[in-house]
Amino acid sequence: MFRISGRPFICQACSKLPQSPPGRPRAPKLPYLVTGSGKWVATQSAKQSGQLLGQENIPSTFIPGQEAIAKLPVRERLHYWTQENDRQKTPKMFSDSNLYATMTNSLTRTQTSKATNLANLKAGPTGSQTGSAMEFNLERDEHSIVGTDIAKPGDMVELGSSGSRMPHLAIYLGYYGDRNHFYASNGTWNMSRGFSSPFLVSNFAKPHELEPILSKLSADATLEDFEKMKEEESGPSREDAKVLIDRMDAFRAETESVYQRNLANLDAAHRLLSYRHRFRYMSLFQMADVLLPNSMRVEGEVSPAALYAIHLALTRVEFGFRPISSSRALHRRDQLYEIFPQDQTELVEKVNLLARHYIVAMARSRIPGNDELANAWLGKFIKQARTAVKNSRKIREFTPYGILKPSNGGTIPKPEWLPISKDVIQFLELWASYGLFEASARLHSNGAMILRAIGMYDDMPLNQTTAWTFLQEIGHIMPWEVPSRYKVRFPDTEIVPGAGLKRQEPSIEVSRRTDIAADARQDVCSPVFCIDAASTRVIDDGISVERTEKKDEFWIHVHAADPASGIEPNSELCKYMELIPDNIYLAGHFQAMLPAELGGNDGDYASKSLIEQYSLQKDCPALTFSAKVNRRGDVLDYKIKPSTLRNVIYMGPEDVSRFCLEPQPKLARGTELAVGQKRGESGYEPERKMVLAKDLDQAQQEDVLLLYELTKAIKDKRLEKGAWPYFFPRPAVTVQFDVTQPTAGADEIAIPADPYIHVGMESSNGSALVSNSMVLAGEIAARWCAERQISVPYRRDANMGVREQEALAYARGELYPLIAKGIEPTMSQRAELSRLTGGIELAAQPGPYFLLGLDMYAKATSPLRRFGDLIVHWQVHAALAHERAKGGQLDPARDSDDVDAKMAFSQAQLAEALPLLQLREKLGRAVSRGASDWILMAVARAWQHDGNLPEKIVFTVDMQLREGLLGHLDLFGLDAIMDADGLDGRALIKDVKVADRFEVALADVNVHAGQILVKALGRIESAGKQDGGATAQ
């Protein structure tokens, strides 16, 4: 049996030899610590165990004395040596696949393309993909049900194992038995629970080329069946995949040929592509224009092999490039790379040299008279850092959970950091906050070495979490900063610590225009019901109803705010809003697409900001989307007109829901948690007058009830076509900060008391009248534009309805019966539906939208909060102005060329812009998921300090792995991990099945890593029963 090299297998003769040449100091030994969960971590020091006592340390056999052993043959001497030294605990080797963190073991073995363990594939860039449990727990739109990055059988993808630095090319085979299946270029059939490929070539393999392999994989087989096939080597063979292997080898050979012919440029890619001080964002196609000669193009296009050569060149740069999206195919703008500025890469290399010099100086410091360590530049930072940490711990204690211990606030001395210290702090921020280093990068060791040298983190893992806590202790970031904000970077924006995102402010006056529909607006004198919470400050939609001469037919009017009528498309303000195309609703860090103060004149008290000017109110402009419907829910006609609202009534959604007798969900038990000192209400008083439904006059009450009846009938029609029936309540987070700052002098930093955090479940899903009306308006917008062949951001299924009947059968057979019983479908079930629909994509042409039960759809009712809606409004206004000028409706057959020229955005412009818009929307949703950080913060504080966690916490298994179990808690649906140690001997991992439940206690909460470890207290046998669900309407 092989043992790790750290064990002292040294014969007696060799042990008497000098351990190092005279005068040469022994290199400092790196101590390690094995944690309770079996994890290896580098630490500041590892305490030596004392005398070994206890029954387990009594030798089971007689061991002769040393003199007697010395006379024995060498084999017998080694036998006795083994018996004696086996008393010592043999530490475990690193696991190649790491359940616990982003850094993985890819350094202790030779890297080879023949590696076959691809069970745990590397995740994609943060924010680049949907599908995590926390996203499902915190979203309520279509992206909470399905993801968008779906490979198709026959696609060639690049895969990277979490324990390997070598990428693999593989053909995606499909999803069977709760696993993705691939055939890799090294001749192995592999499975993975999830993957995200940074490079993908669509339709690389033809269906007939896949047939020999797919014939060996049954779609009905279970995970256990596939695991048995792998053990017995009865799966697809190299002979079955010969054609695919040859094609992948040919692709790689072509890639290497391109690389060798352009070696000088590709190896200097960062120098040629990067800016000096600014981040740059480019696609592979744009990089090809710089790095490859025109002769590499075939019919004006860059080949996939040439693009892959560029991709490989980027991945070989340890710090300089980062993909910020994962593409379904080689889209021109969808696959973007973030290129770090040269000053950042130089800073990282500078700190790398400082760390190397410090290590050498530390080793030489043992030589008498050598003062190199005292003069090391890094030593100057270490002295300042130690002082800053000690000052911080006078008012806040350190914790190992990614946060500091709560306190009532205070002040700490403000360090006067030396320039070299600022560089080191910025390096630690890059390492701990932004997660810019690859899991296998050598640069991680520099961060660990700096933390060890500081000497304030004994017996702590020297990882990014500890570095994050160090930044809190020195006052660089607040102790309650949300880590997720740093892990997602919007192109051309800057993260402001403790605040939001910074953009360069545009020129408002230059971006304005006179009302494009001023002479065409129709007065709306009937009551318009704007149904929003009293705390809502942006009112961008309202609803009214109009009766017709037929008693069973009505016009439903959805009125949307109309900023597009007064803002120029393609203006500075347009580009400003495009950078953050959605409001980001993260507690404590709300970020508006259009800030509330923008457009107001501080010197003129009568001036209004753009939000104040265009929020729905009396006498304000609106764009009205109208549908003629009957009581059965049929849409008989539709139109879009500019309007002016004369009678606006503000109501609350919960009040409207109660008035309409809308069914309310039954909330789960024990789903409320509060930590910290509550400081009263926010004090915000809405300027608008809120009206209760009971205070409406009879005619207005009848309008509200009629609107509810009609919109419910329309939804029932959509349900017949397979629409998702019900969204379960999600955790809602409220954060209150202490506005009274401690008094701080000029040389001090004021640290307020920790915020009050309240986590509960949503009391309702809002008003169904509102949500159904907004979907109706989106359908009207899509139909109206499609009828005129106008390009707008249509939202559609990526598979374009090819597998609609399969999706419908699966939804009705598997998912919707669960929802009707109040049981929320699992991630795996929702992922299967996603594979059938293809996920949601933005496109310039319409297509079906299965989850809404619509043939086409385009969001259009929130132009003050969503840039995509604003594009729809700009396009509609341009078309309406053209129709007014021509005196009739646009005819696509007759006016197609003229129409495209008259639009605010041409079809070509939108086709290029929409992939980037979809990326930015995806990044916004990723930032919004930072609410899970607040939940983890509250759980950590309650667990360690406030002591108000629920008495019983239940862990439900979602996935079984060799290293442990992944699942979720009945505490706000938080993801959790239970490893072999966490099972505590109550079961073997292989005997645990999906949906099994355990009563657990928290073992560790890491706010920075977004991770919870649990320990089993007992197994709950009634695994099939579901409690605490919601009642679907």
Residues 212 and 190: their CA atoms lie apart, in Å, by 16
Residue 755 DSSP code: P
Q: How many CA atoms lie within 13 A of 1033 on its CB side?
A: 18
**Residue 51 confidence (pLDDT):** 46
**Residue 27 confidence (pLDDT):** 38
Task: Please say whether the beta carbons of 846 and 791 come within 8 A.
Answer: no
To the nearest 10 degrees (0 to 180), the angle between helices 443-454 and 377-392 is 60
**Residue 704 confidence (pLDDT):** 97
Best CA proximity match to 558, nearest among 579, 530, 538:
530
**Residue 730 confidence (pLDDT):** 84
> Which tokens in the block code for residue 534?
């009293």
Average pLDDT over residues 440-463: 90
**Which of these ranges, 121-130, 655-664, 962-971, has the smallest mean pLDDT?**
121-130
pLDDT of 113 > 60? The answer is no
Residue-wise pLDDT for 901-941, tens only, equals 889 999 888 988 888 898 889 888 888 888 899 999 999 99
**Residue 363 confidence (pLDDT):** 82
Residues 865 and 616: their CA atoms lie apart, in Å, by 13
Task: Please say whether the beta carbons of 160 and 194 come within 8 A.
Answer: no
Query: Which position has the higher pLDDT, 231 or 565?
Result: 565
**Residue 132 confidence (pLDDT):** 35
pLDDT of 519 > 80? The answer is yes
Q: Check residue 113 and give left, alpha or beta (phi > 0: left; psi -120 to 50: alpha).
A: alpha
**Residue 1001 confidence (pLDDT):** 94
**Residue 49 confidence (pLDDT):** 43
Residues 401 and 430: their CA atoms lie apart, in Å, by 20
Best CA proximity match to 922, nearest among 124, 194, 126, 127:
127
Average pLDDT over residues 484-499: 84
Residues 1008 and 125: their CA atoms lie apart, in Å, by 17
Instruction: For residue 189, list its beta bridge partners.
Output: 183
pLDDT of 1033 > 80? The answer is no
**Residue 40 confidence (pLDDT):** 40
Residue-wise pLDDT for 722-772, tens only, equals 999 988 888 889 999 887 878 888 888 888 889 999 998 877 667 999 999
What are all long-range contacts of 517-520, with beta carbons under 8 Å and residues at least 24 apart?
A: 517/562, 517/565, 517/621, 517/642, 517/877, 517/880, 517/881, 520/641, 520/642, 520/880, 520/884
Kindly give, in sequence order, each residue whose CB lies less than 8 Å from that of residue 977, ignoring residues fewer than 6 positions away.
99, 100, 964, 965, 966, 967, 1011, 1012, 1013, 1014
Residues 455 and 225: their CA atoms lie apart, in Å, by 52
Task: Please say whether the beta carbons of 850 and 832 come within 8 A.
Answer: no
**Residue 161 confidence (pLDDT):** 63
Residue-wise pLDDT for 774-813, tens only, equals 999 999 999 999 999 999 999 999 889 899 999 999 999 9
Residues 228 and 423: their CA atoms lie apart, in Å, by 53
Residues 132 and 480: their CA atoms lie apart, in Å, by 23
**Residue 82 confidence (pLDDT):** 78
Task: Please say whether the beta carbons of 705 and 660 come within 8 A.
Answer: yes
Residue 675 phi, psi dihedral angles, 5° rounding: -135, 150
Task: Please say whether the beta carbons of 679 and 738 come within 8 A.
Answer: yes
pLDDT of 33 > 60? The answer is no
- Please report which confidence band the pLDDT of residue 108 belongs to, taking 50, 70 and 90 as the band edges: low
**Residue 762 confidence (pLDDT):** 79
Q: How far is CA 25 from the centre of its chain?
A: 48
Average pLDDT over residues 424-445: 88
pLDDT of 486 > 50? The answer is yes
Residues 157 and 203: their CA atoms lie apart, in Å, by 11
Residues 753 and 742: their CA atoms lie apart, in Å, by 9
To the nearest 10 degrees (0 to 180), the angle between helices 768-787 and 867-886 is 50
Residues 729 and 1030: their CA atoms lie apart, in Å, by 8
Residues 869 and 625: their CA atoms lie apart, in Å, by 13
The size of the chain, in residues, is 1033
Kindly give, in sequence order, each residue whose CB lies less than 8 Å from that of residue 43, ignoring residues fewer than 6 positions away.
31, 32, 33, 458, 459, 460, 461, 462
Q: Highest mean pLDDT range out of 1-15, 90-104, 522-536, 934-948? A: 522-536
H or E, element range at 688: none
Residues 946 and 675: their CA atoms lie apart, in Å, by 7
- Estimate the share of the chain in helix, then strand, then coil, as percent rounded to the nearest 5: 35, 20, 45
Say what percent of the chain tops pLDDT 90. Answer: 49
Query: Which position has the higher pLDDT, 724 or 34?
Result: 724
Residues 413 and 656: their CA atoms lie apart, in Å, by 53
Task: Please say whether the beta carbons of 831 and 807 come within 8 A.
Answer: no
Residues 617 and 608: their CA atoms lie apart, in Å, by 13
Global pTM?
0.84
Residues 997 and 957: their CA atoms lie apart, in Å, by 6
> Which tokens in the block code for residue 121?
């594939």
**Residue 330 confidence (pLDDT):** 47
Kindly give, in sequence order, each residue whose CB lies less than 8 Å from that of residue 693, ignoring residues fewer than 6 positions away.
651, 655, 656, 658, 659, 701, 704
> Which tokens in the block code for residue 308?
């892959």
Residues 834 and 476: their CA atoms lie apart, in Å, by 42
The CA-atom distances, in angstroms, between 82 and each of 64, 91, 332, 707 are: 13, 15, 62, 83
**Which of these ranges, 407-411, 419-423, 467-471, 810-814, has the smallest mean pLDDT?**
407-411
| Residue-by-residue DSSP string for 388-401 | HHHHHTTTS---SS
Best CA proximity match to 929, nearest among 731, 763, 757:
731
On average, the pLDDT of the chain sits at 83
**Residue 420 confidence (pLDDT):** 94
Residue-wise pLDDT for 614-638, tens only, equals 999 999 999 999 999 999 999 999 9
Strands (E) across 784-886 are located at: 794-797, 840-843
Residues 527 and 617: their CA atoms lie apart, in Å, by 12
Residue-wise pLDDT for 980-1032, tens only, equals 889 988 888 888 988 899 999 999 999 999 999 999 999 998 644 444 444 34
Instruction: For residue 1004, list its beta bridge partners.
Output: 1013
Kindly give, in sequence order, each residue whose CB lies less than 8 Å from that of residue 419, ignoring residues fewer than 6 positions away.
none
Instruction: For residue 522, list its beta bridge partners.
Output: 643
Exposure string over 1020-1029, b if 16+ CB within 10 A, otherwise e: eeeeeeeeeb
**Residue 88 confidence (pLDDT):** 58
Q: How far is CA 554 from the centre of its chain?
A: 43
pLDDT of 148 > 60? The answer is no
Best CA proximity match to 103, nearest among 95, 92, 111:
95
pLDDT of 3 > 60? The answer is no
> Which tokens in the block code for residue 447?
């961060």
**Residue 165 confidence (pLDDT):** 62
Dihedral sign, CA of 267, 273, 278, 283? negative
One-letter amino acid at 39 equals K
**Residue 162 confidence (pLDDT):** 56
Average pLDDT over residues 314-331: 74
Residues 527 and 546: their CA atoms lie apart, in Å, by 10
Residues 926 and 929: their CA atoms lie apart, in Å, by 5
Best CA proximity match to 797, nearest among 869, 846, 831, 844:
846
Taking the CA atoms of residue 635, residue 640, residue 642 and residue 644 in that order, the dihedral angle to the nearest 10 degrees is: 0
> Which tokens in the block code for residue 914?
């929409």
